[in-house]
Amino acid sequence: MRPRLRPRGAGGRGAAAPAAPKPLLRWDEVPDDFVECFILSGYRRLPCTAQECVASVLQPTNETLNFWTHFIPLLLFLTKFGRLLFLGGRHDLPFHHPGLLPLWCYASGVLLTFTMSCAAHVFSCLSLRLRAAFFYLDYASISYYGFGSTVAYYHYLLPGLSLLDAGVMTPYLQQRLGWRVDCARLIAAYRALVLPVAFALAVTCTVACCKSRGDWCAYPFALRTFVFVMPLSMACPIMLESWLFDLRARNPTLFVHFYRRYFWLLVAAFFNVSKLPERIQPGRFDIVGHSHQLFHIFTFLSIYDQMHYVEEGLRQFLEAPPAAPTLPGTVGYMLLLVLCLGLVIRRFLSGSDLCRED
């Protein structure tokens, strides 16, 4: 690995003047693990102090808009969840009502994801080890968010699907396909397994993403994109519902925002994997317009659409709740996941290999 560069001006005599912003570096002036594909300039020095990292959010570096494209959505979601959980939103429940426990899980996932991404992009130049630690935490927060989304789906959206109603599906299969199948046991098995499977996926995805920072991985961005798509499979019942039944007529909010969310996710994945537009003209989009900034923007749009149909699912749930969510089945699951993800990150940080740049 290329030796770390000594900051310019080090060792000078006399009283220290107010520190001016340090000159930015090119890709061949920073350690290899710090270089991003097709980004030629705008790199901060390594190591920086925490104060220099914070100050850099107001300077034109190649990380500045990576921070702002998640910090502004973080403020928007804080306002939105504050209204729903503490100001009542369209319901009159106190914030500690059991019916809001899945919303708390979902909100914590969304807010943690944006917070950790902001922290990773701001403080990634403290040191190589801390850089790896922040991005491990970033991956873990995305997995945590994915599981929190599944908890919200499980309580607010899945109970209203005809696909998971044995009284609808059993005669449907007999009339349409001629299958004499009692769907009650299959649906009960699915309901029993959906959260444990989502939990296992969250841990597995974090392990895979942390491993992708190793030198063995030739296509880390493609691998991480694929891994982050895996938990989205937990929303398959909603997609099947739209194919088998008239979801657009029965729940237009869910139909429109669900498919628009997945459109935004496809666009985000495209930019994350393709590294466009900087792949076409390296150096031109170093500060503004590179693929990771676009990835952030479209990811925000996807979560914004998701929040619309989660909120609508909450409204329908509160009108006729099938069963009150329990503390162990919601917050308890999330706390156990935090413990497991913490152990995963500790295991990777204790390894001898420092990982590749994100």
Domain boundaries, given as residue ranges, for the chain = 27-349
Residue in 72, 57, 5, 67 with CA at minimum distance from that of residue 34: 5
Tens of pLDDT along the chain (358 residues) come to 444 444 444 444 444 444 566 789 999 999 888 899 999 999 999 899 999 999 999 999 999 999 999 999 999 999 999 999 988 665 678 888 999 999 999 999 999 999 999 999 999 999 988 998 998 999 999 999 999 999 999 999 999 899 999 888 888 888 877 777 788 899 999 999 999 999 999 999 899 888 877 655 566 666 667 766 666 777 889 999 999 888 888 899 999 999 999 999 999 989 988 999 999 999 999 999 999 999 999 999 999 999 999 999 999 998 887 788 999 999 999 999 999 999 999 999 886 455 444 4
pTM: 0.89
pLDDT for residue 296: 97
The first and second tokens of residue 79, run together, are 């306002």
Neighbours of 10 (CB within 10 A): 6
Q: Which of 73, 96, 134, 92 is nearest to 345 (CA)?
A: 134
Q: How far is Cα 302 from Cα 87, in angstroms, rounded to an integer?
A: 25
Contact 205, 227 (CB under 8 A): yes
Let me know: does 306 contact 261? Beta carbons within 8 Å: yes
| Nearest to 332, CA basis, from 104, 172, 171 | 104
The encoded tokens of residue 281 equal: 């003209």
Phi, psi of 43 (to 5 degrees): -85, 140
CB atoms within 10 A of CB 133: 20
| Terminal C-alpha separation, the chain | 17
Count of other CB atoms within 10 angstroms of residue 196: 10
Letter for the amino acid at 287?
I
